[in-house]
Amino acid sequence: MSETEQDDAKRRQRARFVDALTSTAQQPGERSRLGTRVAGATAVLALVAGGTLGLGAWRSYQADEEAKEQKLAAEQAAARKKFTPSPSRSATPKPTKPAQPTRRAKSPDPAPAAPSASPSKQQQTKVDLVVNGDAESGPGGTAEPVESVVGWTVRQGAPALIGYAVGGGYPEPGDPGPARRGSRFFSGGNSPRTALVQDLPLPATGRTGRRAVDAGQVRFTATGWLGGYATQEDGARLSVEFRDAGGTPVDLAVLGPVTAAERRSATGLFERKASAAVPPGARTARLLLVFTRSGSGTSNDGYADAISLTLEPTTGDRSS
């Protein structure tokens, strides 16, 4: 097949998907249900990020998130008026949820209402450094490329932050991907090569701070959900490069790309993970997220979502 033929074939396939979608999916509730999940995921992310990020970027990110949450809440309220959802699913937002599992009931202490959801001890000590690793912030939502991405520098090409509800052959909520995927994922847009960069300072102090790093007592875990489209080899790759105070690379971890064979030709995203000790001397981490179009066509169908870089102290001692 020639380049344009292959491209046309892809687009035709997408068009069929879209036709099928638009003819069947006229349900007004679809959006709000997604919204509920997005709001939940956003709240959790905001909790995690709010507790860990001291970056200036966080303020605008947070403002963004708050505005989004308010909008979602309004949309949900409007949607609830419009149609009555099935009792099992979206009819129960937060107020009715406290029906906790039996473990809570057995607990002897009356627990003076903790201010936040209580994650495990391990989660509390984990620090996720990535800003907007979930593609949920800033412009996007369609297959159209965007000029800027919150938290990231567009180094090459133009990414699209595509909504899982867009359809047309792109990954959808039911396709392989992160359990808490929010509403959008990164893609390579229409460029043959699209690259996003994020430079992160490592914490100066604390249990994952410089002293601990230099003693070899901090472990990093880089995670990315990476994928592509059907049998095509368009792909996404995440690299994490640790640098010392002088900017010299001291270690590198690379995730992906996830090949069509590894995806078993399924359209979707699959988890890739790397974990090791943060190299002594490391002061910053550079994330590079690259989407590569293989061969022909217009659409760069490298996909990514749920990008994270967490640090954990490897000593059991909490007092340092």
What are the residues binding Ca ion (CB under 5 A)? 134-135, 181-182, 305
Q: How far is the CB of 181 from Ca ion (least distance, A)?
A: 5
Q: Which two tokens stand for residue 70?
A: 């308010």
Q: How far is the CB of 184 from Ca ion (least distance, A)?
A: 5
Q: List the 249-255 sheet strands across, edge first.
A: 153-156, 193-201, 282-292, 235-244, 249-255
Q: How far is the CB of 33 from Ca ion (least distance, A)?
A: 16
Roughly how many angstroms between the first and final C-alpha of the chain, as a whole number?
63
Q: How far is the CB of 306 from Ca ion (least distance, A)?
A: 6
Closer to Ca ion by Cβ: residue 150 or 282: 150
Closer to Ca ion by Cβ: residue 162 or 202: 162
Q: How far is the CB of 37 from Ca ion (least distance, A)?
A: 11
Closer to Ca ion by Cβ: residue 5 or 66: 66
For residue 311, the cross-strand partners are 127, 220
Closer to Ca ion by Cβ: residue 194 or 217: 194
46 to 51, 56, 108, 158, 274: CA distances (angstroms): 8, 15, 31, 26, 24
Q: Which residues contact 120 (CB under 8 A, 6 or more apart)?
A: none
Q: By beta-carbon distance, which residue lies closest to Ca ion?
A: 182
Give dist(CA 142, CA 165) in Å, integer.
Answer: 9
Give dist(CA 107, CA 219) in Å, integer.
Answer: 33
Closer to Ca ion by Cβ: residue 159 or 313: 159
Closer to Ca ion by Cβ: residue 14 or 181: 181
Q: How far is the CB of 9 from Ca ion (least distance, A)?
A: 28
Closer to Ca ion by Cβ: residue 181 or 263: 181
Q: How far is the CB of 38 from Ca ion (least distance, A)?
A: 9
Question: Position of tokens 């995690």?
Answer: 48
Closer to Ca ion by Cβ: residue 42 or 190: 42
Q: Which two tokens stand for residue 83?
A: 């149609």
Q: How far is the CB of 28 from Ca ion (least distance, A)?
A: 23
User: How many residues does the structure list for the chain?
Assistant: 320
Give dist(CA 233, CA 300) in Å, integer.
Answer: 10
Beta-strand ranges (E) seen in 173-299 are: 184-187, 193-201, 218-228, 235-244, 249-255, 268-277, 282-292
Beta-strand ranges (E) seen in the chain are: 127-128, 153-156, 160-163, 184-187, 193-201, 218-228, 235-244, 249-255, 268-277, 282-292, 303-313
